[in-house]
């Protein structure tokens, strides 16, 4: 009887341990940046709480990782330490570098479990997003929140300057003319600039690339991670235009201005126009006390803008259980309902097309026409900056443009130096992929 009693207790304990193990949640972490203005961190924390409540079998811990660049560095470090995060909200243009470095999980097997091919899966998202989500026909990133640069302008400033707010500048010539009319001076003091743009890292490269595209060019090879075109006439022409705005027309301040200073000047009436991400739209909407509108980024030769924002990636090195849990989170975050709500909260456009079929989204879009501009501009959007050593290669361009904005270099000299630096940074990849021709 004693042996039977002990055995019974042992079986009960064993069953309890087994049940507890079966019920234990799979712990995963989510690295997320907050690259634009607004209360995005608090909202992401709220979303994770909702997910955890609805998915008791998974426990997500949200980890704020700073800027896009900071998030990239921390993700690389975690992977190299053997402790990769389960999911990362990663700048969409970094995906190719993770593929090159073999640090990212291809999502095709997970997609196949849902009965779809990679192409069918990506058909759920806006076509312009494919270039930064796929590589060699495989899906590596799922678009989460995306953006294009927009022209924001003050209705009151336009009217005061004799400009028609119903017809914002569409070309560089019109843009320069509007900026001249909007600029106000009191003696040697400029009381209102015609235009301001962020000149800091990441933002500046993004906007400059948009100008190069709209000048009819391409500033990098979208099919190869080891080639950029900083010395092409189209890129130099874009930098010359920025130089003209600052040093010839004097309608934009000299030097490097960050996004916070740009928006503050806009709110205070000290600039009539600014270029910012559509991801800043909710921040502007909440803080601009006078009427404003948004418009396409003006073109020189063609309408063209780079896609911005982020994709969800699953780094390599996670266990099968963590990978499955990560995929559940990715699918939930990119569902039409969550994508639509995140878009309404932030200003990013929802990458999931079906989000715009929801009643809440239809109502929102009818009430906020400023949110429709980024969607309309998607017809002219392209991928951006997908290279080996992408941050360094991008910073080479930005260092050059910053030198021009600060009056320290000519566009030609700055872009020549940027090309030289970028080529050096990409050389290991170029040499690795170069064809070995017979002697």
Looking at the structure, tell me whether residues 250 and 396 fall in a common domain.
yes
In a domain, 256, yes or no: yes
Tokens 């933002």 sit on residue? 203
Tokens of 316: 């390599």
Name the E strands within 260-323.
Answer: 273-277, 292-295, 305-306, 308-313
Q: How far apart are CA 47 and CA 402, in angstroms?
A: 38
Looking at the structure, tell me whether residues 131 and 172 fall in a common domain.
no
Is 297 a residue whose pLDDT tops 90?
Answer: yes
Looking at the structure, tell me whether residues 322 and 296 fall in a common domain.
no
Looking at the structure, tell me whether residues 137 and 171 fall in a common domain.
no
Looking at the structure, tell me whether residues 156 and 38 fall in a common domain.
no
Looking at the structure, tell me whether residues 231 and 163 fall in a common domain.
yes
Tokens of 46: 């709220």
In a domain, 439, yes or no: no
Please write the tens of the pLDDT for every residue from 56-89.
Answer: 999 999 999 999 999 999 999 999 999 999 999 9
The range of the structural domain enclosing residue 244 comes to 149-305+388-433
Q: What is the pLDDT of residue 190?
A: 97
Q: How far apart are CA 50 and CA 44, in angstroms?
A: 10
CB 182 within 8 A of CB 166: no
Tokens of 188: 């040697």
Looking at the structure, tell me whether residues 272 and 316 fall in a common domain.
no
In the chain, helix, strand, coil percent, each to 5?
Answer: 55, 15, 30
Looking at the structure, tell me whether residues 141 and 175 fall in a common domain.
no
Looking at the structure, tell me whether residues 375 and 408 fall in a common domain.
no
Q: How far apart are CA 223 and CA 231, in angstroms?
A: 19
Handedness of CA 44, 49, 54, 56 (dihedral sign): positive
Q: How far apart are CA 272 and CA 152, in angstroms?
A: 8
CB 382 within 8 A of CB 366: no
233-252 average pLDDT score: 98
Q: Can you give the CATH number for the domain in which 301 is found?
A: 3.40.190.10
Nearest CA-CA partner of 321 in 83, 93, 99, 57:
57
Number of domains in the chain: 2
Looking at the structure, tell me whether residues 337 and 191 fall in a common domain.
no
Please write the tens of the pLDDT for every residue from 145-171.
Answer: 999 999 999 999 999 999 999 999 999
Tokens 């909440």 sit on residue? 286
Looking at the structure, tell me whether residues 240 and 292 fall in a common domain.
yes
Q: What is the pLDDT of residue 434?
A: 84
> How does residue 250 score in pLDDT terms, banded at 50, 70 and 90?
very high
Looking at the structure, tell me whether residues 298 and 333 fall in a common domain.
no
Q: Which of 367, 382, 397 is the last residue before a domain boundary?
A: 382
């Amino acid at each position: 009887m004693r042996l039977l009693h002990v055995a019974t207790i042992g079986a009960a304990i064993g069953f309890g341990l087994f049940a507890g193990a079966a019920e234990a949640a799979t712990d995963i972490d989510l690295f997320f940046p907050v690259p634009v203005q607004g209360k995005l961190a608090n909202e992401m924390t709220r979303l994770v709480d909702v997910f955890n409540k609805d998915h008791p079998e998974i426990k997500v811990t949200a980890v704020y990782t700073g800027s896009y660049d900071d998030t990239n560095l921390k993700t690389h470090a975690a992977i190299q330490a053997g402790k990769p995060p389960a999911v990362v909200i990663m700048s969409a243009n970094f995906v190719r570098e993770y593929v090159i470095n073999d640090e990212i999980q291809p999502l095709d097997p997970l997609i196949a479990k849902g009965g779809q091919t990679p192409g069918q899966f990506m058909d759920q998202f806006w076509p312009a997003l494919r270039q930064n989500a796929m590589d060699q026909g495989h899906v590596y990133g799922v678009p989460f929140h995306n953006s294009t640069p927009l022209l924001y302008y003050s209705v009151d400033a336009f009217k005061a300057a004799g400009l028609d707010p119903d017809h914002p500048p569409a070309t560089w010539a019109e843009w320069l003319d509007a900026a001249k009319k909007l600029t106000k001076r009191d003696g040697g003091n400029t009381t209102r600039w015609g235009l301001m743009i962020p000149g800091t890292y990441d933002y500046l490269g993004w906007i400059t690339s948009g100008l190069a595209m709209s000048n009819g060019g391409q500033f990098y090879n979208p099919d190869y991670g080891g080639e950029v075109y900083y010395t092409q006439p189209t890129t130099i022409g874009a930098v010359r235009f920025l130089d003209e705005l600052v040093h010839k027309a004097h309608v934009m301040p000299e030097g490097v201005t960050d996004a916070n200073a740009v928006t503050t000047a806009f709110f205070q009436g000290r600039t009539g126009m600014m270029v910012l991400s559509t991801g800043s739209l909710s921040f502007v909407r909440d803080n601009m006390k006078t009427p404003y509108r948004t418009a396409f980024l003006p073109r020189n030769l063609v309408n063209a803008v780079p896609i911005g924002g982020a994709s969800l990636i699953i780094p390599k090195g996670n266990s099968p259980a963590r990978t499955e849990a990560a995929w559940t989170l990715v699918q939930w975050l990119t569902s039409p309902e969550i994508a639509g709500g995140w878009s309404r909260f932030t200003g990013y456009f929802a990458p999931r097309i079906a989000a715009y079929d929801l009643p809440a989204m239809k109502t929102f879009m009818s009430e906020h026409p400023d949110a429709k501009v980024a969607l309309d501009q998607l017809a002219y959007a392209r991928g951006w900056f997908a290279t080996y050593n992408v941050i360094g290669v991008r910073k080479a361009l930005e260092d050059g443009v910053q030198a021009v904005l600060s009056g320290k270099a000519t566009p030609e000299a700055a872009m020549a130096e940027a090309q030289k630096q970028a080529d050096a940074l990409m050389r290991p990849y170029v040499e690795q992929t170069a064809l070995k021709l017979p002697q």
